[in-house]
Amino acid sequence: MNLEEQYDRIYKYLFFHLHDRHAAEDLTQEAFLRFLGSRTYQDENRQLQYLYTIARNLCHQYYRDRTITYSLEEADAPEAEGFEQPLLDQLLLRNALQKLSPEEKELVLLRYVNEVPVPVISGLCQMSRFAVYRKLRRILQKVRIEMEAEQDEQ
Partner 1 sequence: MELTADRISKQYKNKIAVDRLSFTLTEGVTGLLGSNGAGKTTLMRLLCGILVPTSGSVACGGMDVCTEEYRDILGYLPQEFGYYPEFTGRDFLLYMSAVKGLPRRDALRRTEELIELVGLKPVARKKVRTYSGGMKQRLGIAQALLNDPQVLIMDEPTAGLDPQERIRFRELIAGLGKNRIVLLSTHIVSDLEHIADQLMIMKEGRLVWQGKWHAGKEDLEAFYISKIQDER
Partner 2 sequence: MNSEMMRTQIRALCQAPRPEGKEAFFRKVKAQGLLHRRPRTISQWEFAAGQFLYIEKWVWALSVLLLLLITAACRRSPGNEPFALTPFLAAGILAQTGRSFRWKMAEMEHAARFSLRSVLLARLFWVGVVNTAGLMLVVLLVRPCFSYSLIRVFLYMMVPYLTAAWLGSVYERKQRADHGWGSVLICLLSSAAFAAAPAFLAGLYEERLTVLWAALFITMAGGLPGSIRNWIARMEEPVWN
| Binding residues vs partner 2 (CB under 8 A) | 3-4, 7-8, 11-12, 15-16, 21, 24-25, 28-29, 32-33, 36-43, 76, 78, 81-83, 86, 89-90, 93-94, 97, 108-109, 112-113, 115, 140, 143-144, 147
Alpha-carbon torsion 111, 20, 102, 3, what sign? positive
Which of 12, 34, 94, 142 touches partner 1 (CB under 8 A)? 34
User: Using the rule CB under 8 A, is 90 a contact of partner 1?
Assistant: no
CB 154, min distance to partner 2, A: 16
CB 132, min distance to partner 2, A: 15
Burial class (CB in 10 A: 0-12, 13-18, 19+), 62: buried
CB nearer to partner 2: pick between 65 and 81: 81
- Per DSSP, 112 falls in state I
- Whether 72 and 106 have beta carbons less than 8 Å apart is answered as yes
Q: What is the C-alpha to C-alpha distance for residues 154 and 146, in angstroms, rounded to an integer?
A: 13
Q: Which does 54 bind (CB under 5 to 8 A by kind): partner 2, partner 1, none?
A: partner 1
User: Using the rule CB under 8 A, is 63 a contact of partner 1?
Assistant: no
Number of neighbouring beta carbons within 10 Å of residue 32: 18
User: Using the rule CB under 8 A, is 50 a contact of partner 1?
Assistant: yes
Binding segment (CB under 8 A) for partner 1, from list 53-61, 68-76, 82-90, 110-118: 53-61
CB 67, min distance to partner 2, A: 26
Number of neighbouring beta carbons within 10 Å of residue 39: 5
Phi-psi region of 76 (alpha: psi -120 to 50; beta: other; left: phi over 0): left
| Best CA proximity match to 18, nearest among 52, 58, 67 | 58
